[in-house]
Amino acid sequence: MRIGELASRTGVSVRSLRYYEEQGLLTSTRSSSGQRHYTDDEVERVAFIQRLYAAGLSSRTIAELLPCTESPSPENSDAALERMAQERDRLSAHIGDLIRTRDALDGLMAINRAHREKLRVPLAG
């Protein structure tokens, strides 16, 4: 299938598919006129790449993990598992940062509400 059909079947833009190919995440064969052609297997590969991006992984990290899906050897599996653990730790730290930021905003909002309530209460005397 050509790049437009792959884009249509996966819901991913042609531009993104070209980027995936530039990053080594996706491969195609070329026709004599230079048009990209993909197999049906690439539909699932693009979906998998999209899930990895949605999980917050970079294209570099995804490129490190893909060999495990292509040739699942003990070496590839061990390396991929280690890399996934690193990414999970990074995401967990980021989640912790987001929670602290949310909690700080909650505190500021509570202070603001209390201040606004004081302004509404008439002063005695």
Residue 81 lies in a domain: yes
Is 28 in contact with 37 (CB distance < 8 Å)? Answer: yes
Domain count, the chain: 1
Rounded to an integer, the average pLDDT of 20-39 is 93
Q: Is residue 110 part of a domain?
A: yes
Which phi and psi (to 5°) does residue 58 adopt? -85, 165
Model pLDDT for residues 60-115, shown as the tens digit of each residue: 989 988 887 777 677 767 878 888 888 889 889 999 999 999 999 999 999 999 99
Question: For residue 49, what are the domain limits?
Answer: 3-120
Is the separation of the CB atoms in 13 and 47 below 8 Å?
no
Share of the chain above pLDDT 90, in %: 66
The answer to whether position 47 is within a domain reads: yes
Using alpha carbons, select from 52, 112, 109 the residue that is nearest to residue 84: 52
Q: Is 54 a domain residue? A: yes
CATH number, domain of 36, equals: 1.10.1660.10
125 within some domain: no
pTM listed for this prediction = 0.68
In this structure, is residue 79 part of a structural domain?
Answer: yes
Residue 123 has pLDDT above 70, yes or no: no
Quickly tell me which residue has 């990895």 as its tokens.
52
